[in-house]
Amino acid sequence: MAVVLALMVVTSVPEEVNLVGLWESKATSSGGIGHAMEFRADGTFVQATTVIVDTQYRLVGDRLVVGPEAPGASADASKSPSFRVEGDVLVRTGPDGSVLREDRLTGREKGTSPIVGGWRYCHPTGAVAYERYTEAGRMLFRLPMQSSEGRYALSGNTLTLTPLGLAGQGWRIKPQPPDVKLTVEVRGDDLVVAKSDGEKAEYRREKAGAWYDLEHVEKCSQAPSEAPHGAGQIFRVGGDVLAPKLLNRGDVLAPKLLNRVEPSYPRAAREKRIEGVVILEAKLTESGNVSDIAVLKSVHPLVDEAAVQAVRQWRYSPATLNGTPVSVYLTVTTTFNLDRIAIETGVKPRPRDSLVGNWYVPGQRIWVWIGHNRAYQCRITGADVVSKAVGVVDQTSENTIIHWESSSWPIDFVRRDGDELLLTSSDGIVRFHPVDGKMPAPCAQK
């Protein structure tokens, strides 16, 4: 992974620029992956690729409810974990009986609730994760994954970073990388960094200071001990889950996505105009199946569940350690936007009375093409069995009907419902979304 930046601080009074403290990138990837830097008074710095998730929380009795609607939400809290504080240990018990113990960070704030303050725990990935609960109801989650360190010097608005190299648990990339020069500008608690090619990045100063550790990443005391060929160990896929790369422990090769199922956008969520990005963490087994899905960043139970159900159907070729399949944890994001279909497929909204074009069922491998007097449908089952049928479109004064030439396919009544296409038959109702382009190769007509 390329060493992340050198930064740029431009200010009208350069001699007063103070970089000391923790800075976090304003922008993150769709998976919540961002970048954090800590500048120290002794002239050293450390930076790390970090999962950065900010959300809300509320307490309902002994239940800890986390999510963007948490402070004012009235949703059922019974599915949220219960918690108790035993001295400087936060104990969370999930609905399934699982127990997570978190240690309080020393020297951090406390509030009227015992949960207020910073906590650290051994994340299932084998790395140390950090959480911070504020008096105002904010919950901050941080998971540093890969770090580098070095020295820095600031002259005017030119920042020079002298990195020592990328580091992980028990390893370091050598030789030492060259110095990086950046132009920086400080605007209050905002930092703008520009590289020599003009590319800029924006950071925000963390007012609470360096409340989590960027330097000592992936040193979880509860992580499984070494075992032959990685048996029993869980490896994290950092950054973009779909990007094949060499992972950070040994010769671990990332899994490859074989089948991706897009989440359906629940109609109730669309009617309530619920939008947002759901971030999930899932365990990928040695056989390439997805299991143990947890919601890291919630939007609303309706879309959270849709995201979980879709990702549960994903299939991978497994990750390998020295050629032997191993389990890994994946960070997965799904976006729900009222313009989502148009954004993801490039499809412009179709006239509300038009049936013509290609349509598909989100989350399933079902496509239909409708012309002015002909139709074609293709379905691919989980066993990759392809079913096809050609039909005749019959337009009456009251209905549009498709008579499929296959006797095993019932007659479909066709109509529009907003941006969706509905096919209604004796088997039920199937909802299709518009899609541009051709059907997949197995569905090609012969």
Question: pLDDT for 297-320, tens place per residue?
Answer: 778 888 888 889 888 888 888 888
The set of residues, in sequence order, having a beta carbon less than 8 Å from that of 53 and lying 6+ positions away, is 32, 140, 141, 142, 279, 296, 297
**pLDDT of amino acid 252:** 58
pLDDT digits (tens, 9 = 90+) for 276-302: 778 888 888 888 888 888 887 778 888
Decide: residue 372, CB within 10 A, 0-12 exposed, 13-18 middle, 19+ buried: exposed
The backbone region for 281, taken as left when phi is positive above 0, alpha when psi lies in -120 to 50, beta otherwise, is: beta
Q: Is 138 exposed, middle or buried (0-12, 13-18, 19+ CB in 10 A)?
A: middle
Q: Which residue has the higher pLDDT, 330 or 305?
A: 305
pLDDT greater than 90 at residue 112: no
CA dist., res. 191 & res. 184, Å (int): 7
Structure tokens belonging to residue 380:
């691919």
pLDDT-wise least confident of 177-191, 334-348, 403-417: 334-348
Please state the rounded mean pLDDT for residues 346-367. Answer: 74
What domains appear along the chain, each with residue ranges and CATH number?
A: 1-223 (no CATH), 230-338 (3.30.2420.10), 348-443 (2.40.128.280)
pLDDT at 245: 30
At 373, is the pLDDT very low, low, confident or very high (cuts 50, 70, 90)? confident
- Find tokens 């296409």 and name the residue: 421
Q: What are phi and psi of 302, to 5 degrees?
A: -60, -50
Query: What type of residue sits at position 2?
Result: A
Q: What digits encode the pLDDT tens for the residues 397-422?
A: 778 888 888 777 888 889 888 778 88
pLDDT, residue 247, reads 37
Q: Which residue has the higher pLDDT, 51 or 271?
A: 51
| Element counts in the chain: helices (H) and strands (E) | 3, 31
Mean pLDDT on 69-80: 61
pLDDT for res 248:
38
The answer to whether 22 touches 211, Cβ cutoff 8 Å, is yes
Q: Supply φ then ψ for residue 271, to 5 degrees.
A: -65, -35
Q: What count of other Cβ atoms lies within 10 Å of the Cβ of residue 425?
A: 15
Per-residue model confidence (pLDDT) at position 174: 42
The three state secondary structure string of 38-84 is: EECCCCEEEEEEEEEEEEEEEEECCEEEECCCCCCCCCCCCCCCEEE
Long-range CB pairs of 176-183 (<8 Å, 24+ gap) are 177/3, 180/3, 180/5, 180/6, 181/6, 182/5, 182/6, 182/7, 182/8, 182/158, 183/8, 183/9, 183/10, 183/157, 183/158, 183/159
Beta bridge partners of residue 387, listed in sequence order: 379
Mean pLDDT, residues 127-140 taken together: 88
pLDDT-derived band at 24, boundaries 50, 70, 90: very high
Q: What is the pLDDT of residue 132?
A: 92
Phi, psi of 414 (to 5 degrees): -115, 135
Q: Count the Cβ atoms, other than its own, within 10 Å of residue 38.
A: 24
Q: Find the Cα–Cα–Cα–Cα dihedral 243, 332, 308, 62, rounded to 10°.
A: 160
pLDDT-derived band at 107 (thresholds 50, 70, 90) equals low
Q: Could you give the angle at the alpha carbon of 40 between the alpha carbons of 39 and 46, nearest 5°?
A: 50
| For the chain, percent of residues with pLDDT exceeding 90 | 9
How many CB atoms are closer than 10 A to CB 207? 9
- Section 354-375 average pLDDT: 84
End-to-end CA, the chain: 46
User: Which residue reads 């239909």 in tokens?
Assistant: 368
How much is the pLDDT for 286? 86
CB distance 116 to 104 below 8 Å: no
Q: If pLDDT is split at 50, 70 and 90, which confidence band does 331 have?
A: confident
* Cα–Cα distance for residue pair 326/318, rounded to 1 Å: 7
Determine the distance from the C-alpha atom of residue 244 to the mean position of all C-alpha atoms in its chain, rounded to a whole number: 16
Mean pLDDT of 224-238: 37
What is the rounded CA–CA span in Å between residue 105 and residue 213? 10
Contact call for residues 362 and 313 (beta carbons, < 8 A): no
**pLDDT for res 177:** 58
Distance CA 418, CA 309 (A): 24
Query: Does the pLDDT of residue 172 top 50, yes or no?
Result: no
- Looking at residues 357-366, what average pLDDT do you find? 82
**CA-to-CA distance for 405 and 376, rounded, in angstroms?**
10
Q: In which band, very low, low, confident or very high, does the pLDDT at 94 lie, cut at 50, 70 and 90? A: confident
Average pLDDT, the chain: 75
